[in-house]
Structure formats: structure tokens, C-alpha cells
Amino acid sequence: MSYCIATYRCFDGKADFHKKAQSIAVGLTVGSWTELPEAKKAEMEKHLGRVLSVDIHEPAAGGDSSASERYADIRIAYPDVNFSADIPALLVTVFGKLSMDGRIRLIDLHFSAAFMSRFPGPKFGLNGVRERLGVHDRPLLMSIFKSVIGHDLSGLREQFYGQAVGGVDLIKDDEILFENPLTPIGKRVETCMQAAEQAQRETGQKLLYAVNLTGPTSKLAANAKQAIEAGANALLFNVLAYGFDVLHELSADPDIRVPIAAHPALAGAIYPSPHYGIGASVLLGKLMRLAGADLVLFPSPYGSVVMPREENMAIQHALTTTELTVDYISRYDSDNATGRSGAATEQPAAGLKTSFPVPSAGIHPGLVPLILRDFGQDVVVNAGGGIHGHPMGTAAGGRAFRQAIQAASQSVKLADAAAQADNLELKTALELWGNRE
Amino acid sequence: MSYCIATYRCFDGKADFHKKAQSIAVGLTVGSWTELPEAKKAEMEKHLGRVLSVDIHEPAAGGDSSASERYADIRIAYPDVNFSADIPALLVTVFGKLSMDGRIRLIDLHFSAAFMSRFPGPKFGLNGVRERLGVHDRPLLMSIFKSVIGHDLSGLREQFYGQAVGGVDLIKDDEILFENPLTPIGKRVETCMQAAEQAQRETGQKLLYAVNLTGPTSKLAANAKQAIEAGANALLFNVLAYGFDVLHELSADPDIRVPIAAHPALAGAIYPSPHYGIGASVLLGKLMRLAGADLVLFPSPYGSVVMPREENMAIQHALTTTELTVDYISRYDSDNATGRSGAATEQPAAGLKTSFPVPSAGIHPGLVPLILRDFGQDVVVNAGGGIHGHPMGTAAGGRAFRQAIQAASQSVKLADAAAQADNLELKTALELWGNRE
């Protein structure tokens, strides 16, 4: 017997949270329990959800507003036997109907080892992306096309080359660039990969181009293979517009032999409310990694599109922890459930590769030391305006970032690095955007 | 030139909303505008988003809490030429990155006639479902299996028969019933359809059984066809767990020749917050109909799982309006945008069939007059506990609803109907659950 565990934060000024937890555990599994005859109970017990804990937060007297709201964190274990081993089935079970039942938020998910074993996870993962690029000793640098809609192949090629020659490791399509007559995916890949080769002859550096995978759901795998055929060495995918299961199927496809970068488009419709939705570390962390994203973009805490730093850190943890038994896998079995044993069962850690965290939006070179302080070396520094808006041009924008990354990786102060004669690009960037070191 | 129009509600205590609107219109389309040379502007103009209106709501002085928040309703027109004609592309364009940009909510969407013409919409629709059942003169009655997990085929058959013989028009699977060894979809359909035939010999009444369509995304169409082969005459689908595009592809598949009922599982992670997410009338109304749902379930305003009545009415309007030019289609063209003409272009109404509204949860016979007052005759009365919990049994529960529907449809008071000797089931139901007439 194995169980997946959901943790909810449930807000209510007066509810009996223990009763509420029981009604969830029964209502979302066997439907009814107390009225069942004993013989039927024995037969149905393996399908019964279990309340693991109910932690009630009573508001402080005289406190004000949301900090003083009454809520409970409720953990429920759902028997694997109740649902098929796919993300839609798990989510519909634990948060399908329940999501509509008042002020309630799904804040964590633990998978059973058996459930998790059905997911290959990222095909390349953090280390596989590093291997593809041959870069192991520093954070990576990604840049984003600036304006792409309405531009033709020569415009894209020029922009691509400028980014590539500045020393970026990855270039991503704009997520709002769809199949279009000016820059259709096959031609776009060919043109951009030629620009990548040209730049590589100058920089000696490899580069991944994450081309935006779009189209009808049933054609995505074929479109991906066409792009790969044309030379694409990475994909960008708007996961939440299509569903986690689609990402899972793409990443598990043996013929899709390139890393997949998950874009968080539409995630803001789900994670930011304190009272509703799904926590960012579940939505953009655990589920993205389980479904097989090699890189995951999410709003950084540094710029204009803001996610709190602690949520960034929770996403990072979900994407990169190797202590899967603690963080991902439910250490809970039916013996615990029925009180026949006090000890958690040892379960093997499922071997999901880690995913590269990509905090995005509002990034400029002066933020690089902050990013490394928060994320360490295993992070992709991702910039759009912070590269294209450099006063000396796009290529200089890339070089400014690389200079900042080199300095911060070696614990050299950005101000000191900027004072060096060959780091003029960094000096210029710090003058424009400031130094948040 | 045609445009799709998104309406946002944007909360901010001090923002310049006109500036914000411009930055959305430019940022989510051409990327930059003011700095473009004039020749480039002429070329890019067809790709530029347009601010149609900015309605600022200033808080009343001395007002309290949320009612006094400052917000603006902003309407932006997005050129169709920027995105492919599919729901993922539209949503990523209008609310991909923007969803993560502070307190902002997508509250309405208007499709261009050209965009909408790419969607066949519901294959059967409200009238097609009525035709399949041969019922044109009253609301329909749907019942929901009670406990299904852990039950075998004989248990399901018994429950199905009890519901069918009570006179329900549709029976839906529990949305948390996935592929499982006890009741695999093929056997489940065969067994339940046999029970349906047996009941029909007694009642003379047709019945649709919406079997839950689950599994890997790439296998859904095959699973649907297998179920239809086994005799299924309707499908239930957890749309938001898979994505609107998957529903669209299923409904457009010529071999899937049965009505599809859309379940709102997970919708509560998206619509309820006042500050974030996507409005219910868009999420469970316009997009479900566009994607081809023949019936759409949503939380009723009457029971325990509550959605406000005005949101229910907005969903109903989105599902059933035939004035598509006003409600669905953007009456906006490029001549308006550039001020060359003041008049809206006449566009043909796309011929989407209407979808059956199915307000659900907490429904008992005493609520039927309220439901009909709000929805009229074109509604599916949907009950679970209100049928199975009837003191005289499941079949009596169905009969009590049919008696209530007959009375309310003929403007007979429930209390008067319940006093008739042959309406004992209704009398018993009203005694247990009350009469909200």
C-alpha cells in the first residue's frame, strides 16, 4: 500500500478543521465511511484517504488583516490504488472538486515511490544541460529575443548573432512567437543555428537555442521532431497552456533528444493568491520536474515581475534537491495509517534528475552577485532588456553579464571587476542599471 | 485586420493605468514602439496591440477594505496575425507573462470572427443533447454516482440501475474514477448500458451515460473511441487537467460522435480570487463552449460548494447566448484602431452551438424552482446526494426530482405538488431537505 500526500492551507474563521479534514479524506476517496457495515469497511479500507495532520493557526488577538486570519494546514494521504499514475489523475483526485470548496490552497504534494517511479523525469536535467554546453564551473547565461513579432528571418538572424557572439549559453524564443509565415519553425531553426555556428567560430563556445514549441496538442511531438530535424538543440514549451501530461509525454519521447525549457506563462493565474490556487513550489517546482522539464523559468524576486524570495528558494529546492525521500516521496504506508506500526517504511529514492532553475525578469548585470548568493552556481542567469538595452549593443550586453558572472563566481566585487580595463561593458552596465551587490 | 480583445481588471493603489495599458498593448505584441523609425512603424503597425479603453475605479473616501480598492478595467485588442488560431496561443499571448505581473485578472475575452471560425464548437450542443434524449419541453435531470472507488461492476450496475429507473436523463461518472481493474472503461460502459436498457424497458425513457475519459493525453482519442465502441453515448472530461486544446481536438474529431460533458475539476485554482486568475464566465463559459463542450458543469450558487449567483448567470450567458456578435466577437478592426473610421465593421456571427449549463453541488428537489427561475428551461438539474440520499432510495430520489421539475415547469407550487398522492417521493424529499421555493 502506498499513498500520495497533499497538504492544503484552508482558511475559515470558525470551521472545525478536524471534521473538515475527515470529510476531505473520505469524500475524495471512498465517498462515505461511518455508515458502512464492518465487512465492507475491511474491504474498502485500502481505498480510504487518511488524515495525517491538522495544524491550526489561530489568529493573534488584536492582530490585523490577513496576518491574523484563522487557517489550518491539513495533510491528507490518498491511496495510489485510487488513481492512475499520471498527473491529471493525481491533481483531479487531490484538488479537482476541492479547489472549488471555499478558501483552500494546495501548498505541497508528496508522491509515493511507486507513483514517482512511473515518471522518467528530465531527460538531461541540470547536469545534462551542462554537459551539452561543456560548462561545469559557473552559472549559465540565457538571453531572450527582444522583439520578434513582425520581424523576418534576416532580422531574427541579426538579433540571434548579436546575442550569441556576446557569449550567452542559451537563447530562448519569445514565448509569444507562434507558427507564422515570416519565421516558420523549420526555417527559423536553420537560420538561427547558422548564426550560432558563425558566433561559435568567434567565441569557441557552444550554444543551445530553445525554439518555441507550439501548435495543436496532437501535433506537438511531430513539430518537435521537425524542429530537431532542422537542427534545434533545445525546446521552449508553454507547459500550463497545454497541461503537465503533455510535457511528460514529450519529455518521455525517446525521439525528442534535446533539453526542454518550461515557460511559466499563465502560472500567475494559479499561484499568487494567498487563499486559492496551487503553491509556486508545487506548480513550477515539483510538477515541472516530475513532468520532465530540464530547465524551468519563473519570476525572479529581483525585478519588476516579482515573486517573493522565499518562494523562489522553494522552487529552487524542489528543482534541485537530491534528497528525494524527504522532499518528494511520501514516507507513509498503510501500517502507519491503521496504527499497526509507528515506523515509516523505507522507500527507495526515485532517480529524477534535477532541473535547472531560471529566475527571470528584470535581470541586469548588477544583480548577478545577488542571484549567485541565492542560487549558488547552479542557476541560469536569464536576461532580455538587460542584454539588448546595453548602451554598447546586444553583444556588449552579453559580455557585461559574462564579466559579472566571472567576477561573482570568483568572489570578486563587481565594482573592482568593472574597474579593469577589459571589463568596460560591465562598467557601462553598472552605470546604467546600478550595482545591487 | 482582425483582433481578439482581452479585458483585464488591474489593481494598484497608485499606478498610471493609462501608461500600464500602453505598456501591455506594446509589450505583448511588437515589444517596443516609440523608439521605432517611422518606416518601421508603418510596417509593424499591423502587429501592434491597441488600448481600447481604460476605466478607472477610484476608491470611495473612507470606504473600507476590498470594496474601496483602486483598480482599472483595461481593454486591449491583439492582432490575430500575431498568434496561431488555437486557445493555447491566444491565452499565452493575452495572459501568459501578464498573469505574473502583479494583481491582475483576465475578466473577459472577445474573439475575432476569423479566430472563432476555426473552432467548430460543440458537436451536439444544447439542442443536440435534447434531440438525443427526445426531451424538448423541460429541464433535464442528471445524477452522479455516489461511491464508486473500490466497487466492482455489480455494485456499479446496481447503482446505475437505481438512478436510471428513477427517471434521470443523464448519469455521469464520478470525475475521480480512473482506469482501474475493478471497473475498466470498456466493461463499465457495457455493464452500465445494459442497466440503462433494462431501465428503459420500464420507463420508456432514453438516457445518456457520461463515462469519465482519462489516461495519457495522446491516448484520450483512442480511449474515447473504445468507450464509444463499447456503447458509450456520452463522455465526461476533466478539461482543466488536460487543457482546452485537448477538448477542442476531441470535440472536433469526427469519430467521437457523442456529447462531451466538461467537468470543472481544478477550476477553483483559477477563478475565485478577486485579484488573480481568470473569470468564471471566461474559464467555464466562453472557453468551454469555444473548445466544444456540449454540457458544462460548474458550482451552483445554491449549495455548499458556492459560486455567486451573478457568476453563474454570466456562465449561463456565455454558454447559451446566440447574439454572438455582441458577446463573443470583437467588433473592432484596424480602421478603428488608427482612427480612420469611427464605425465598427460588420462581422458574421460564427455559428457555435450553445452548451447546456449544469449548475452542480448541493442540489435537492426543493431547489428546483430556484434553478428554473435563474436558468429557465434550458438547464440540467444535477444531483448526487439529493438523489442517493432520499429516504426511499435512489430511484425514489430521481422520481422526487422529476416531480419537482414537472411542477416547477408548469408553475405549480412544490408544496401543492407534494400534496398529491402520487408525489410521495417529492413530499418526503421536501420534508428532509426543505423547500426553498
Using one digit for the tens of pLDDT, what is the confidence trace for B142-175?
Answer: 999 988 899 999 999 999 999 999 999 999 999 9
- B10 close to A (CB below 8 A): no
**Helix (H) or strand (E) segment spanning residue A71:** strand A71-79
Is-contact A187 A225, C-beta < 8 A?
Answer: no
Domain assignment of residue A341, yes or no: no
What are B214-246's pLDDT values in tens digits?
A: 999 999 999 999 999 999 999 999 999 999 999
Inspect the interface and report whether the beta carbons of B214 and A88 lie closer than 8 Å.
yes
Residue B325 has pLDDT above 80, yes or no: no
Distance separating alpha carbons of residues B398 and B383, to the nearest angstrom: 9
Q: Do A90 and A136 belong to one domain?
A: no
Give the domain extent around A34. 3-110
- Looking at the DSSP bridge assignments, the partners of residue B380 are B140
**Structure confidence at residue B350 (pLDDT):** 57
Residue A336 inside a domain? The answer is no
- B25 and B141 in a single domain? The answer is no
The question of whether A97 is a catalytic residue gets the answer yes
Which residue, of B77, B110, B143, is where some domain finishes? B110
Whether B328 is covered by a domain: the verdict is no
Q: What stretches in chain A show pLDDT beneath 50?
A: 337-349
Of B187, B209, B211, which Cα lies nearest the Cα of B200?
B209
Q: Residue A161 domain-assigned?
A: yes
pLDDT digits (tens, 9 = 90+) for B135-149: 999 999 999 998 889
Chain A contact for B300, CB < 8 A? no
Question: Which of A110, A144, A175 is where one domain is finished?
Answer: A110
Shared-domain flag, residues B252 and B313 = yes
CATH of the domain at B31: 3.30.70.150
Q: What three-state secondary structure class fits B49?
A: coil
Q: Give the SS3 label for residue B9.
A: strand
Residue with cell 496591440: B49
DSSP tally for chain B: helices H, then strands E: 20, 12
CA A244 – CA A290 distance, rounded (Å): 9
Does B62 or B45 have the greater pLDDT score?
B45
Minimal Cα–Cα distance from B179 to chain A, Å? 6
Question: Is residue B199 assigned to a domain?
Answer: yes
Angle between helices B394-409 and B424-433 (to 10 degrees): 90
Domain boundary residue, one of B59, B82, B110: B110
What's the gap in Å between the CA of A65 and the closest CA on chain B?
9
Q: Under DSSP, is residue B212 helix (H, G, I), strand (E, B) or coil? A: strand
Is residue B428 within 8 A of residue B392, CB to CB? The reply is yes
Q: Does A326 touch chain B (CB under 8 A)?
A: no
Rounded Cα–Cα distance for residues A368 and B61 (Å): 44
Contact between A275 and B273 using a beta-carbon 8 Å cutoff: yes
Cβ distance of B44 and A249 shorter than 8 Å: no
Same domain, A236 and A353: yes
Q: What is the phi/psi pair of residue B115, to 5°?
A: -60, -50
CB A247 within 8 A of CB A293: yes
Nearest CA distance, B295 vs chain A (angstrom): 17
Helix (H) or strand (E) run with residue A108 in it: strand A104-110
d(CA A87, CA A245): 6
- Contact B242/A238, CB-based, under 8 Å? no
Interface of B with A in 238-257 (CB under 8 A): 238, 241-243, 245-246, 249
CATH number at A142 reads 3.20.20.110
A130 and A229 share one domain? yes
Cβ neighbours around A19 below 10 Å, total: 10
Same domain, A208 and A254: yes
> How does strand B3-11 pair with strand B71-79?
antiparallel
- Are A101 and B305 in contact (CB < 8 Å)? yes
pLDDT tens per residue across span B259-274: 999 999 999 999 999 9
**3-state DSSP assignment of residue A169:** coil
| Other C-beta atoms lying within 10 Å of the C-beta of residue A429 | 31
What is the per-residue pLDDT for B344?
41
Amino acid of residue A434? G
Q: Which residues of B are catalytic?
A: 97
The total number of structural domains in chain A stands at 2
Nearest-neighbour CA in chain A from B213: distance (Å): 11
pLDDT value at residue A32: 87
Contact across the interface for B269 and A149, Cβ inside 8 Å: no
> Is B32 an 8 Å CB contact of chain A?
yes
Name the residue facing B47 among A31, A93, A149 (closest C-beta): A149
- Checking DSSP bridges between strand B295-299 and strand B260-263, what pairing results, if any? parallel
Whether residue A374 is found in the same domain as residue A250:
yes
At A426, the amino acid letter reads L
**Residue A30 has what pLDDT?**
94
- Which of helix, strand or coil describes residue A107? strand
Residues of B in contact with A150 (CB under 8 A): 30, 43-44, 46-47
Whether A93 and A156 share a structural domain: no
Question: Phi and psi for B372 in degrees, rounded to 5?
Answer: -70, -35
Residue A117 covered by a domain: no
Q: Does B97 touch chain A (CB under 8 A)?
A: yes
Same domain, A154 and A100: no
A66 inside 8 A of chain B by CB: no
Residue A340 falls inside a structural domain: no
pLDDT value of residue A132: 97
CB–CB of A216 and B86 under 8 A? Answer: yes
The reply to whether A278 and A409 lie within a common domain is: yes
Residue among A106, A149, A249 whose CB faces B82 most closely = A149
Tens-digit pLDDT profile for residues A239-289: 999 999 999 999 999 999 999 999 999 999 999 999 999 999 999 999 999
Q: Is A312 on the interface with B (CB under 8 A)?
A: no
Between A and B, how many residue pairs show a Cβ–Cβ distance under 8 A? Answer: 225
pLDDT confidence of residue B62: 63
> How far lies A374's CA from each of A302, A359, A402, in Å?
11, 11, 18
- A95 and A197 housed in the same domain: no
Q: Is residue B17 domain-shared with residue B101, that is, in the same domain?
A: yes
Q: Quick one: pLDDT at residue B96?
A: 97
pLDDT-above-70 percentage for chain B: 92
Q: Is residue B141 part of a domain?
A: yes
For residue A302 the three cell numbers come to 529581483
**Is residue B341 pLDDT above 60, yes or no?**
no
Chain B residue with the nearest C-alpha to that of A29: B149
Residue bearing cell 505584441: B29
